[in-house]
Amino acid sequence: RRSSDLIGEHTDYNQGFVLPMALPLVTVMVGSRSYDGFISITTISKEADEPRAVTFAVPRDRCPLTPGEPRWANYVKGVIQYYRAGPVPGFNAVIVSDIPLGGGLSSSASLEVATYTFLQQLCPDDGDLVSKALACQKAEHTFAAMPCGIMDQFISVMGKIGR
């Protein structure tokens, strides 16, 4: 689910008031578990930086994931690194989204939440929505170096159409 805010641009992380709303746009990650110790992810977004396919080793205690290129993959890697259940297994996945990148519609938060939701299917966590949003925010802070507030992740996790 994606969001827009009527008021609140750049104010959620400055302790201002915000009023986000859900939009009928989505980001979906689909795939399956693999048993080779690697994670392979492809985005079909033509707006994403190259390469649009990445493969990296499953994170371990002594070998955590680190940010790098392409930039879009850092949002995914951060969520994998901070996923609250696990260990995260290897998997192959494709990302599909109808949210324009860089259009002010929180495409990064949508990608993070889609990634987290996919991981919940592979190795379920406790289902706490606030913790899910906070883990996605932490991923954006540390792996994408974007000091965002929590509004985008919260509305992406908790927004409901018609409410």
By C-alpha distance, which of 73, 82, 85 is closest to 138? 82
Active site residue 98: no
Cβ-based neighbours of 140, under 8 Å, separated by 6 or more:
75, 78, 108, 109, 112, 146, 148, 153
Q: Which residue has the tokens 């689909």?
A: 30
Among residues 5, 36, 125, 152, which one is catalytic? 152
Cβ-based neighbours of 81, under 8 Å, separated by 6 or more:
59, 64, 65, 139, 143
* Residue 6 φ then ψ, to 5°: -75, -45
Q: Rounded to whole angstroms, how far apart are CA atoms 156 and 127?
A: 15
- Catalytically active residues, by annotation: 152
